[in-house]
A and B are shown apart, each in its own frame.
Chain A
Amino acid sequence: MSTSNFTRRGMLKTSAVAGAGLAVPTIFTASSVAAFTNDPADQSTVTLGFNVPQSGPYADEGADELRAYELAVEHLNGEGDGGMMQTFSSKALQGNGIMGKKVEYVTGDTQTKSDAARATAKSMIEKDGAVIITGGSSSGVAVAVQALCQEAGVIFMAGLTHANDTTGKDRKANGFRHFFNSWMSGAALAPVLTKEYGTDRKAYHLTADYNWGYTTEEAIRNSTEALGWETVNAVKTPLTQTDFSAYITPVLQSDADVLVLNHYGNNMVNSLTNAVQFGLRDKMVNDKKFEIVVPLYSELMARGAGAAVKGIFGSQNWDWKLQKQLGDRYIGTDAFVKSFGEKYGFPPSQAAHTCYVQTLLYADAVERAGSFNPCAVVEALEGFEFDGLGNGPTLYRAEDHQCFKDVVVVRGKENPENEFDLVEIVEATPVDQVTYAPDAPEFGGADAKLGECNAGA
């Protein structure tokens, strides 16, 4: 059969001959020539990879992250009003791109699935030559992409990820998180809750049945129990649950007087809506008014839950009213809200803020390091203290690459003035109160290691 003469060996020979004959000087550049992955040295531009959810339940959050990234790119390239670059304590950024290279970007859809997120991140690294991957809206995705960036030798600047694991047991040398975490939420919320609701409360937890839910429940339980609360019960709910009635009615039957909803996204919107439907907010137990707590708040979830969020306590990484209400400690907030608001017509969400800040921090670290080499960037970011990015004085801790800054405790507003004014700021918990040891047991203990930075190539 003539077709079978076309063997593999023959094929290789032919292609080798064709290659040698046609492509003269640089046929094979084994990647070891470059010092690190996707070195942009011989280009006039540098490419950043924005990997955000564009489909699935977090698509709107992803869209807001993307808006922030586009704004950050504009500011880095010297367009627009410069946003937080005016207030940032480090003045390394000149508005001429990063190290004189114009900033370009590519985008991808994580679908909030770790496989899809890794696929798009890989395509950005392998095809588009991205030197950094950033974004995302869940901890599963953050941990997966962070590990990928570690292997590939690029920097990962996490977007919205709140589970302890990202900078806990799954921390990586090439990965950085600006967003706060479950433990910090617990440490910030517990004192406010006990002050507001008293120390002899009985709490009932409903917890999303996956890693983030576990760490959040643990954080809130430990910190509230330390201040005198009792945990009556903790029930795990499936991620795919949409109607929470079967989980809410037992709460009515128990003698609990506080319900903690360790839920995020649609889970939170639905469980909170259901809880309010069942009249929990109007109930009196043990002569105390029944209360609901949602450890992690987001503007979009608050909007989705509508009137149900009124009076509900929660914590946030940042809020657009921070500087207006708590003064210039949070400088940078107004500058960012102004440039974001003028471009898009509404105030930014905390997801947008953290993504914008991460981009600036990365660019600044490159400028200070004088190199795009991930290891140089890691060195520049480790132990970096900065201010003027909206959260007050902040430290990027060297041991776990977690940012330490004030945590914002908020409450759903009773009478919102407009559709963006959904929460009121109760307090900004000072950073000292939400700082923990890098080898805390909740964060993987002494076993959790960053490992060595990887420059790839």
Chain B
Amino acid sequence: MDAIILQILNGLDKGSAYALIALGLTLIFGTLGVVNFAHGALFMIGAFCAVTVSRILTLSYTTVDETRTDFLGNPMEIEVPYIHNLVGQSAGDFMIDWAVPISILFAIPVMIAIGVIMERGLIKHFYKRPHADQILVTFGLAIVLQEIIKFYYGANPIPTPAPSAFRGSFDFGAFLGLGANSIIYPYWRLVYFAFSLVIIGGVFAFLRYTTFGMVVRAGMADRETVGLLGINIDRKFTIMFGIAAAVAGLAGVMYTPINSPNYHMGMDFLVLSFVVVVVGGMGSLVGAVLAGFLLGILESFASMAAVLETLPGINQIVIYLVAIIILLTRPRGLMGRKGVMEE
């Protein structure tokens, strides 16, 4: 029983990462009709926003400590972060500790800017081009973005820990009265889960309850008519692309404490997030989120030892197997709309 609750938690947690990326991807699919292979790269850049902020906060000058020696036997150089001089030692340490949450403030404008530049400078010219061309150009862009990050940060993962206040685990067992330590779950993963719910809710509310959102939804359904009504749908779509990029970026920022980011983490997520979007059904935001959680939970259950004993290797293929079954039983995924990306 505990094991099952834990795997559901794992699935929700993993699913929230899938759902966040798929949400951004499907916004671009749905609104703009563009197959964006650079979406994984946006997720990765978000993660590296966090790395950059923590690098900036720990930017240091060196003083020489004669009492200690380094690996070659020379006097040791001690690094002192500038931030200590700027805001004092304790406040500085606090900011370094909270680098990841602080990066959110940095990542939002950066990601929106990247998204808008990308749309205006490149994607805009590809709306009317075949999907194949969109794939080629966005894949090329993804490689370029990756290589730039690799050039500056190397290929090795870079540890970016959560604030120390969030490093422990929450004892669900004691909380639910099932006995202490029976179900514990790391705080940061709960934060990530809550965070993704907030973002997903925010995006839905934005599309549902604002005029802007209404226009965009109308544009998703019938772009030409909306254009004929004299609404500047292009501007709205640009903003939508910026928002999608920001969603991907924020997913990346918050993911860094869970797994150390590296330059190809976007590619690792890319294929899975495409599967999630398609299983959810093209053009359906709810479908994408639902599929994200569903596949996350199934993946978690498939990795249980008891399951693996009966079906060896099922953890390797479960997502793809489920995707095939769903696509065969439901022609347009869970909640797909007719005619979107079917040609």
Contact = CB atoms under 8 A, between A and B. Distances in A.
Contact between A and B in the complex (any CB pair below 8 Å) = yes
Interface of A: 55-61, 63, 209, 233, 235-238, 240, 242-243, 245-247, 249-250, 252-253, 266, 269-270, 273-274, 277-279, 283, 300, 303-308, 320-321, 337-338, 341-342, 346-347, 417-418, 420-421
B259 A305 contact: no
Counting chain A CB atoms within 10 Å of each CB, the highest count among B156, B260, B299 belongs to B156
A332 to B, nearest CB: 16
B40 to A, nearest CB: 12
Contacts of B17: 243
Nearest to A272: B260
Nearest to B171: A279
B157 A249 contact: no
Contacts of A250: 3, 6, 304-305
A277 B155 contact: no
A306 B161 contact: yes
B155 A57 contact: yes
Interface stretch (B64-72, B205-213, B226-234, B246-254): B64-72
Interface string B254-276: 00011110101100110000000
B10 A420 contact: no
A341 B159 contact: no
A61 B313 CA distance: 30
A274 to B, nearest CB: 7
A35 B322 CA distance: 58
A249 B158 CA distance: 24
B71 A269 contact: no
Contacts of B201: none
B9 to A, nearest CB: 8
Given A57-B155, A306-B161, 8 more contacts: A60-B155, A209-B316, A277-B258, A303-B159, A304-B260, A307-B159, A337-B72, A342-B72
A421 B154 contact: no
Given A253-B2, A277-B258, A417-B68, A243 B157 contact: no
B330 interface: no
Secondary structure at the B interface, as helix, strand, loop or mixed, is: mixed
Interface in B298-338: 299-301, 303-305, 308, 312-313, 315-316
A281 B81 CA distance: 30
Contacts of B72: 337-338, 341-342
Given A246-B299, A278-B186, A420-B71, A60 B3 contact: no
A245 B305 contact: no
A214 B257 CA distance: 29
Closest 4 CB pairs of A and B: A306-B159, A59-B155, A304-B157, A246-B300
Contact of A270 (B13, B259, B305): B259
Contacts of B39: none
Counting chain B CB atoms within 10 Å of each CB, the highest count among A56, A243, A420 belongs to A243
A278 B190 CA distance: 12
Contacts of B168: 279
Contacts of B48: none
A246 B68 contact: no
B55 to A, nearest CB: 13
Contacts of B76: 417-418
A236 B3 contact: no
Interface string B145-168: 000001000111111010000011
B184 interface: yes
A346 B343 CA distance: 56
A246 B10 contact: yes
B14 A273 contact: no
A235 B268 contact: no
B156 A278 contact: no
B334 to A, nearest CB: 22
Given A277-B258, A303-B156, A418 B71 contact: yes
B71 A337 contact: yes
Contact of A304 (B158, B167, B299, B304): B158
B189 A306 contact: no
Counting chain A CB atoms within 10 Å of each CB, the highest count among B14, B68, B189, B262 belongs to B262
Contacts of A342: 72
A305 B158 CA distance: 8
A96 B156 CA distance: 36
B139 interface: no
Contacts of B238: none
Contacts of B157: 266, 269-270, 304-305
Nearest to B71: A347
Contact of B6 (A59, A249, A273, A347): A249
B188 interface: yes
16 contacts: A55-B155, A56-B264, A245-B189, A246-B301, A246-B303, A247-B303, A249-B9, A266-B157, A273-B258, A277-B186, A304-B157, A304-B158, A305-B159, A338-B72, A417-B68, A418-B76
Contact of A279 (B2, B3, B9, B184): B184
Interface string B124-140: 00000000000000000
A237 B260 contact: no
A72 to B, nearest CB: 19
B305 A233 contact: yes
B25 to A, nearest CB: 18
B330 to A, nearest CB: 26
Interface string B161-186: 10000011100000000000100111
Given A249-B7, A250-B3, A307-B159, A242 B259 contact: yes
A278 B169 contact: yes
A59 B71 contact: no
Contacts of B257: 277
B67 to A, nearest CB: 12
A183 B28 CA distance: 51
A273 B315 contact: no
Contacts of B184: 252, 278-279
Contacts of B260: 269-270, 273, 304-306
B190 to A, nearest CB: 11
Counting chain A CB atoms within 10 Å of each CB, the highest count among B168, B259, B265, B312 belongs to B259
Contacts of A209: 313, 316
Interface in B26-43: none
A346 B154 CA distance: 15
Nearest to A298: B156
A154 to B, nearest CB: 28
Contacts of B167: 277
Interface in B104-124: none
Given A56-B264, A252-B6, A245 B14 contact: yes
Contact of B156 (A233, A274, A300): A300
B308 A236 contact: yes
B303 to A, nearest CB: 4
